[in-house]
Structure 1
Amino acid sequence: MFEPGAGPAANPSDGHERTIRSFQPRRSRVTKGQHDALVRLWPRWGFDIDGSHLVDLDKLFDTLPSGAPVVLEIGFGMGEATAQMAAADPDTGILAADVHTPGQGNLLRLAELNGLTNVRVANGDAVILLREMLPPACLAGVRVYFPDPWPKKRHHKRRIIQPAFLDLAATRMAPGALLHCATDWEPYAEQMLEVLTAHPAFENTQPDGGFAPRPEQRPLTRFEGQGLDKGHSVRDLLFRRKA
């Protein structure tokens, strides 16, 4: 699809040890606008999660002051909500990781269209990004919005919010950093709440220990709207990394 160096690789982390995948790679049709954005902007604003080096976040977000906060978003769909959040918080770097090529191209297109210089796109497995490419305590937040719920019981092991993932994420989050999850799948929401509540590195921001109201800074996404139209309840979870 792309010349070497001109766009995201098909399998950037092949050969690296990985845990059970929590995602399914999707290579649906890329529009002309998305392809053009990937070819032009990927060398400047994108990188493959290949596990080959430690990312210098100051260099990656060279348009922001040194030491600017960086939030990792895991799975961003077509990028509309990510672009809105980046526009509302231009002093925070948004490191958006996904494997969906059309979404990667669309987010880059939106970033350029709206003059956003605080968005970077990472292609591949976010677990490898956290484990092998990010330094300790470097993140001001982690966002996991509407991850695959893997509804069948035999697939529950593929859900991303598990104790092992939280162990890893906690090492890359600075004290006080916010982990924000959202799902419209009620059984998964209950599991998330149970696993997060039990984890020693995180504390619930809600005094009652339950779900949080949707924060204003999280836009209503198209996917979320579809779920609401089907009668799904959307649950937000806001947990803070303990000091």
Structure 2
Amino acid sequence: MSDPRHDDKTTGPEGPEAPLHRRGIKSYVLRAGRMTQAQTRGLEEVWPRLGLTLADGRQDLDALFGRQAPRVLEIGFGMGASLVEQAERHPDTDFIGIEVHAPGVGKLLDEADKRDLTNLRVYREDALAVLEQCLPEASLDTLQLFFPDPWPKKKHHKRRIVQPAFVELVRTRLKPGGTLHMATDWQAYAEWMAEVMQAAPGFANTAGPETAPFVPRPDFRPLTKFEARGERLGHGVWDLIFRRVD
């Protein structure tokens, strides 16, 4: 539920100078949910090995994973099926996931342990705080933002995570040539993302002229059950991939 103290008439993306942490404004809401035995096991038994917190401070990713490798960060991995699949499919790449909802974090940790994945770490924190406080500049090859909350009501647009200030922060964390990959099943939010990215300095769209500003769903993005069901119902999905050029 929104806080009426923060309902205003702002409907467009905020400028890059806007503070990322505005008191009372979050890009997510915490939802209560029952924990299964497997999810509880993940949080209790696997978290000490794969979990990370803001208190850990700025990370040395080579030391964290014990090697040099491509690095992928996913914000809002939900129940984690897609991220676990990527980590298992690409053992030569290191993955970091951020999710605030306990059932999803517990599920991912349980699955990662069952599959003996060593190339995956997890934050249960605010994504903006992790980017600002924990990840070094130019440390990521890819940042993935798949199906974020679209906050469809105009009075809630300021809660959308995709804002110019967020995109600029992402740019600083990507390596030169690194990519920001976003996907949404809300056309209005897809158009919002495209507007923000097309105005963002230091990025170039990878879309070809026949599909710009969007790209066809790349094979390396796993098709989620939610997305597959939407496709059967005729729902659209829009992918955007922008590369850091400066």
Q: Is the contact made by 1:49 and 1:123 (CA closer than 8 Å) also made in structure 2?
A: no
Aligned to 2:230, the other structure's residue is in SS state helix
- Quick one: distance in 1 between partners of 2:34 and 2:64? 28
Letter in 2 for 1:133: C
Q: 2:52 aligns with which of 38, 47, 50?
A: 47
Q: Segments of 4+ in structure 1 off by > 3 A? A: none
User: Does structure 1 residue 59 correspond to structure 2 residue 63?
Assistant: yes
* 2:34 match: 29
Letter in 2 for 1:61: F
Aligned to 1:240, the other structure's residue is in SS state strand
Cα deviation per residue 1:170-203 (whole Å; 9 max; x = unaligned)?
1111001111000000000011111111111111
User: Does structure 1 residue 84 correspond to structure 2 residue 89?
Assistant: no
The unaligned stretches of length 5 or more in structure 2 are 1-19
Cα deviation per residue 1:30-64 (whole Å; 9 max; x = unaligned)?
111111122111111002235x62112122223xx
Aligned to 2:78, the other structure's residue is in SS state coil
> Under a length normalisation based on structure 1, what TM-score does the superposition of the two structures give?
0.87
* 1:221 match: 224
- Quick one: distance in 2 between partners of 1:205 and 1:162? 20
> What's the offset of the Cα at 1:141?
0.7
> Under a length normalisation based on structure 2, what TM-score does the superposition of the two structures give?
0.86
User: Does structure 1 residue 234 correspond to structure 2 residue 237?
Assistant: yes
Letter in 2 for 1:59: A
- Quick one: distance in 2 between partners of 1:138 and 1:179? 13
Q: Please list, as runs of the form range in 1=range in 2, the aligned pairs for 1:119-198 lying within 5 A after superposition.
A: 119-198=120-199
Aligned to 2:182, the other structure's residue is in SS state strand
Give % identity.
Answer: 49
150-159 or 204-213: bigger deviation: 204-213
CA RMSD between the two structures: 1.5
- Quick one: distance in 2 between partners of 1:100 and 1:222? 19
Aligned to 1:175, the other structure's residue is in SS state strand
> What's the offset of the Cα at 1:229?
4.1
Q: Please list, as runs of the form range in 1=range in 2, the aligned pairs for 1:102-121 lying within 5 A after superposition.
A: 102-121=103-122
Aligned to 1:174, the other structure's residue is in SS state strand
- Quick one: distance in 2 between partners of 1:227 and 1:76? 18
